[in-house]
């Protein structure tokens, strides 16, 4: 009785597994038809349905990445292919070469040329005779070189701008220092002009004294006149 139950359980599990496998393949085939028609969003949905039944499905994941790429979801497709490359290290060389090829395209479309070059090289390590991958690698290398040149030019430009700023700052400091020196010179000149030399001070003192003496003499003369007048008018 127990043996019979075990056998029936195994048969039931086999039928369920076969049913899931058939449903998965059916969903993948449906996605493939939609992909060929250019219905990429619908194909994405179908591939995801297949992956719900079998998350490890190589075809489901690979084709899902292609559907994402066709919708310009380059970052998502790159992440998916990168995960596949890590998880399917034991896959056959041709399958792994295709994964790296599509990974390189996903990076290339994001202008991540250094990562793209490395992905295409990994693809050629698995399939050295793939002419399309060789062409894509050459394109990625050319774009990487151009990108690096532009970055170097931008860096040089930034350095020149910084140098110009430093020169302008130095010039402003020099101008400010010259203005300060000129102000100090003007102030010193004014102080010198305001100062009285000992000779000038002596002359000014003599002039004051002379003026005072003249005033005193005039005062004495006036007193003498008044005295003379009073004497003459003395009744």
What is the Cα–Cα distance from 54 to 24, expressed in whole angstroms? 7
Rounded average pLDDT over 114-127? 97
Give yes or no for a contact between 146 and 152, defined as CB atoms under 8 angstroms apart.
Answer: no
pLDDT bin (cut points 50, 70, 90) of residue 158 is confident
More confident residue, 47 or 90: 47
**Token pair belonging to 167:** 């020169």
Rounded average pLDDT over 119-127? 97
Rounded average pLDDT over 170-196? 71
Give yes or no for a contact between 127 and 94, defined as CB atoms under 8 angstroms apart.
Answer: yes
More confident residue, 162 or 127: 127
**According to the model, what pLDDT value does residue 12 have?**
42
Alpha helices per DSSP H over 88-197:
93-109, 113-126, 131-194
What is the Cα–Cα distance from 13 to 5, expressed in whole angstroms? 12
What is the Cα–Cα distance from 73 to 204, expressed in whole angstroms? 98
Tens digit of each residue's pLDDT (9 = 90 or more) over 4-14? 444 444 444 44
DSSP 169-233: HHHHHHHHHHHHHHHHHHHHHHHHHHS--HHHHHHHHHHHHHHHHHHHHHHHHHHHHHHHHHHHT
**According to the model, what pLDDT value does residue 172 have?**
77
- Which is it for the CA torsion 96, 97, 102, 105, positive or negative? positive
> How much of the chain exceeds pLDDT 90, in percent?
52
Rounded average pLDDT over 59-75? 97
**According to the model, what pLDDT value does residue 204 have?**
65
Asked if residue 25 has pLDDT above 80, the reply is: yes
Asked if residue 199 has pLDDT above 90, the reply is: no
Rounded average pLDDT over 180-206? 66
The enclosing H or E element of 31 equals helix 2-36
Average pLDDT, the chain: 81
**According to the model, what pLDDT value does residue 201 have?**
60
In degrees, rounded to 5, the angle at the alpha carbon of residue 163 between the alpha carbons of residues 159 and 167 is: 170
């Amino acid at each position: 009785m127990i043996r019979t139950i075990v056998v029936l359980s195994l048969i039931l599990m086999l039928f369920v597994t076969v049913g899931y496998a058939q449903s998965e393949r059916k969903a993948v085939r449906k996605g493939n038809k939609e992909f060929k028609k250019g219905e990429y969003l619908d194909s994405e949905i179908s591939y995801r349905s297949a992956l719900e039944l079998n998350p490890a499905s190589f075809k489901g994941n690979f084709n899902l990445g292609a559907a994402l790429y066709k919708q310009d979801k380059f970052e998502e497709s790159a992440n998916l292919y990168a995960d596949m490359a890590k998880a399917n290290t034991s896959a056959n060389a041709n399958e792994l070469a295709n994964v790296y090829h599509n990974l390189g395209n996903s990076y290339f479309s994001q202008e991540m040329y250094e990562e793209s070059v490395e992905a295409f090289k990994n693809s050629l390590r698995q399939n050295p005779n793939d002419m399309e991958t060789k062409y894509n690698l050459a394109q990625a290398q050319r774009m990487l070189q151009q990108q690096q040149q532009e970055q170097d030019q931008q860096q040089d430009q930034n350095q020149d701008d910084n140098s110009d700023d430093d020169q302008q700052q130095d010039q402003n400091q020099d101008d400010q220092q010259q203005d300060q020196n000129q102000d100090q010179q003007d102030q010193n000149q004014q102080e010198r002009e305001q100062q009285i030399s000992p000779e000038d001070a002596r002359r000014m003192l003599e002039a004051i004294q002379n003026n005072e003496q003249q005033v005193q003499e005039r005062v004495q003369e006036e007193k003498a006149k008044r005295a003379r007048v009073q004497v003459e008018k003395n009744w």
